[in-house]
Amino acid sequence: MPIYHKLGRIPQKRHTQFTKPDGSLYYEQLFGTIGFDGMSSLIYHEHRPTQVSAIGDSIDVNPKIAVSHNIASRKLIGFDVKPKDDFLDAREPLLVNSDVHIGLAAPKKSLNEYFYKNSDADEMLFIHKGTGTLRTFLGNIHFEYGDYLIIPRGMIYQIEFDSEDNRILYAESFHPIYTPKRYRNWFGQLLEHSPFCERDYKLPQDLETYDEKGEFVIKVKKQGMLHSLVYATHPFDVVGWDGYNFPYGFSIHNFEPITGRVHQPPPVHQTFETGAFVICSFCPRLYDYHPKAIPAPYNHSNIDSDEVLYYVDGDFMSRTGIGPGYISLHPAGIPHGPHPGTYEASIGKKGTEELAVMIDTFKPLQITENALKIDDGSYYKSWVE
């Protein structure tokens, strides 16, 4: 997160004595990324954050691969993913490679009986349905329809939902998730041509601090396993922190689309980047305004990247037979383009209300057993006239 933020109480000078009212010391923790080269925060705890009192079960949660070498375009009926009570059980990995796991979840219950930490991956949660609060050890973020929540690896969190009707698109990224470098200057500030700015971020607020001893379970995801660790002190015992490494939110509704006289390529929709894939936001916008413009995209071959589209709302102009919650996968190796009739039908249209999230990966995606269960099976033939 390339802006500085702080919450709670911190000492004036880093790495110096920070004293509690009773004269004892708070415990400082440097929480860094990429060794000591990435973003970091300095965190002050009531207790040492190292007090593991027991190690419980370890469960294998690696995705089960059904198709490891995929050449078919696919359509997944996302809302067919069944709601489940538990936040982690509800996650269904669908399209995966060694860089990213893309999946859907329909959790019914808040996560408040244990804490969760993904030490493998940064997490992107896109909220399609539901409202609530992401509660983390660095502060809370209220979320609603259209929010991206970016949770860097290692953040300890819980999540509260206001109702049982929740739908989430998620990506577990084994590379850090950043905003696009080309929209930032050499100080990290977002530039004027960026489709969003610092004011649009939802920063953590309302730091919760619990000075409690007991038995607190943190489920830690590491190397595809979910380990249960019992800690002797409350994981939310932070009295203050500052730095650049923290969870944040961003609403897709605050993405300001870049438009042109002729069709603009997908990079204008880019919202986040990693070393291995990008996340783009397709938002309601005015169409191209050249008198002979064709608003629908041309056929295209990104010969070396898989393209995943998650349809959120509105008519998607270049597709037929698509509804909210659907996922399309257009794999590397073959071209794809608008469905028959949509290319011509787009001419003369002034704008679109489409809302979608796109994830383009450089490595091919594998198809999981979960994905096959919601695959319509015939999408790859849908361009035949």
Type and span of the H or E element at 189: none
With contacts defined by CB under 5 A, how many residues of the chain interact with Fe ion? Answer: 1
Q: 228 vs 305, which CB is nearer to Fe ion?
A: 305
Q: Alpha carbon of 375 to those of 80, 103, 349, 370: distances in Å?
A: 10, 13, 31, 9
Q: Would you give the DSSP letter of residue 164?
A: S
Q: 190 vs 332, which CB is nearer to Fe ion?
A: 332
Q: Shortest Cβ distance from residue 307 to Fe ion (Å)? A: 5
Q: 10 vs 355, which CB is nearer to Fe ion?
A: 355
Tell me if residue 80 falls in helix, strand or coil.
helix
Q: Shortest Cβ distance from residue 361 to Fe ion (Å)? A: 13
Q: Shortest Cβ distance from residue 47 to Fe ion (Å)? A: 50
Q: Shortest Cβ distance from residue 332 to Fe ion (Å)? A: 11
Q: Shortest Cβ distance from residue 256 to Fe ion (Å)? A: 22
Strands 65-67 and 74-77: unpaired
Q: Alpha carbon of 11 to those of 25, 111, 136: distances in Å?
A: 11, 32, 21
Touching Fe ion, residues 293-322 (CB under 5 A):
307
Touching Fe ion, residues 216-245 (CB under 5 A):
none
Q: 123 vs 307, which CB is nearer to Fe ion?
A: 307
Q: 46 vs 307, which CB is nearer to Fe ion?
A: 307
Q: Shortest Cβ distance from residue 96 to Fe ion (Å)? A: 20
Touching Fe ion, residues 158-197 (CB under 5 A):
none
* Calpha distance 316→381 (Å, rounded): 19
* Calpha distance 369→366 (Å, rounded): 10
Amino acid at 291: P
Q: Where are the alpha helices (DSSP H) in the chain?
A: 342-345, 369-373
Q: 97 vs 318, which CB is nearer to Fe ion?
A: 318
Touching Fe ion, residues 100-119 (CB under 5 A):
none
Q: 151 vs 332, which CB is nearer to Fe ion?
A: 332
Spell 36-75 as b/e; 16+ CB within 10 A means b. Answer: eeebebbbbbbbebeeeeeeeeeeeeebeeebeebebbbb
Q: Shortest Cβ distance from residue 297 to Fe ion (Å)? A: 6
Residue nearest to Fe ion (CB): 307
Q: 127 vs 308, which CB is nearer to Fe ion?
A: 308
Q: Is 203 exposed, middle or buried (0-12, 13-18, 19+ CB in 10 A)?
A: middle
Q: 137 vs 311, which CB is nearer to Fe ion?
A: 311
Residues β-bridged to residue 222: 225
Touching Fe ion, residues 46-85 (CB under 5 A):
none
Strand order in the sheet with 65-67: 65-67, 366-368, 92-96, 100-105, 167-173, 122-129, 147-151, 248-251, 201-202
Q: Shortest Cβ distance from residue 246 to Fe ion (Å)? A: 33
Tokens 């919202």 locate to 271
* Calpha distance 233→79 (Å, rounded): 39
Q: Shortest Cβ distance from residue 380 to Fe ion (Å)? A: 15
Region for 34 from its dihedrals, namely left if φ exceeds 0, alpha if ψ lies in -120 to 50, beta otherwise? left
Which spans of this chain sit near Fe ion (rule: CB under 5 A)? Answer: 307
